Structure 1
Amino acid sequence: MASSGSKSVAFFLLFLNLGLYFIITIIAAWAINHGIMKARESASVLSPPAHLFPIYFPMGSMATGFFVVFALIAGVVGMGTSVTGLKNILQWTAPNLHSAAASSMGTWALTLLAMGLACKEINLGLRDANLRTLEVITIIASTTQLICTGAIHVGVEEVISGQRNLERTRV
């Protein structure tokens, strides 16, 4: 079967992404909880624009709040996409692969947004070890999600061309 290579690559990458997005979700949720718990005492000495953002992060830079929130969103959406993608890859039909490809593209876009904010935070500096870990895993997840999206799209093309060849032989 010609599609077994892309199927196994996509399956492996979806399983890897499930683990990466789980770690991203755990660390981002911890950072938000830490920011909420420390916000009252830390933000009381700041100037008024900092009071407008509801979660002030005592660790990191001013980009930390946005990065952590978008990393949490990307992590939760990525876990959902990975679970449904695993189910769709196991079925390996054209409609299921189209669904997996579409959700994979959306997750990759959210992960790229979080990765861009991670790069901004790296550029600004002054970050905690947990935030560095979250940044690195977010950058790795954006790369593996891109490769996974490509593998799923290759699978879609293989299934569609296989169906066309089957229709031609029937006629």
Structure 2
Amino acid sequence: MASGAAKPATFFLLFVNLVLYLIIIIIASWAVNHGIEETHGQASVLSIPARIFPIYYPFGNMATGYVVILSLLAGVVGFTTSAAGLSNAAQWDSSNLYTASIFSIITWSFTLLAMGFACKEIDIGWGGSALRALEVLLIIVSGTQLFSMIAIHSGIEELSRYGGGRV
């Protein structure tokens, strides 16, 4: 990135991720709540392998439970680390950017795990519109999280090039 361009790009991408992860938390929480409410009535007539999973989702397919739980986990971790990353990027010194870098790598790994199961759910078959939105958001946020990591790392390079202090 050009000199001084890493800081605004980092702030923009972290803010976009913060909003996207909040939307993922809302959709995944709705899906968990809907699944819990429908479990008792729907799962009591199912055979043994389907009754083992504690939450039965009357929508989606067999991968839905994993997608919803992992996207909820990725959403909570992503929202928290994006907020902390915004705080660390506001300081814009090397120690805080290294912390933001570690946060972004952890978040990206959780997001890729949830996105992998979302891609598997897409491959298996059709889900509901809320699940489709969740799958699309997971794919989008995995890309924006990657760009956020690149912006943070370019900020670290920029700081090291200018002596490790504030720019």
User: Following superposition of structure 1 onto structure 2, how do residues 46-85 of structure 1 map, counting pairs within 5 Å?
Assistant: 46-85=46-85
Match of 2:94 in 1: 94
Q: TM-score, normalised by structure 1?
A: 0.93
More helix per residue? 1
The share of aligned pairs that are identical, in percent, is 54
Structure 1 counterpart of 2:106, which letter? G
Q: Is the 8 A contact 1:93 1:159 kept in 2?
A: yes
Residue 108 in 1 paired to residue 115 in 2? no
Taking the aligned partners of 2:128 and 2:42, their CA distance within structure 1 comes to 16
Contiguous gaps of at least 5 residues in structure 1: 166-171
Structure 2 counterpart of 1:69, which letter? I
Structure 1 counterpart of 2:60, which letter? G
Q: How many residues align?
A: 164
Match of 1:117 in 2: 117
Taking the aligned partners of 2:4 and 2:37, their CA distance within structure 1 comes to 49
1:23-62 CA-partner distances (Å, limit 9, x unpaired)? 0000000000000000111111211011111011110001
Residue 161 of structure 1 deviates from its aligned partner by 1.9
Taking the aligned partners of 1:80 and 1:108, their CA distance within structure 2 comes to 13
Taking the aligned partners of 2:107 and 2:36, their CA distance within structure 1 comes to 27
Taking the aligned partners of 2:24 and 2:11, their CA distance within structure 1 comes to 20
Structure 1 outlier segments of 4+, above 4 Å: none
Q: TM-score, normalised by structure 2?
A: 0.95
Residue 3 of structure 1 deviates from its aligned partner by 4.5
Residue 64 of structure 1 deviates from its aligned partner by 0.2
Match of 2:160 in 1: 160
Q: Over alpha carbons, which structure has the higher Rg?
A: 1
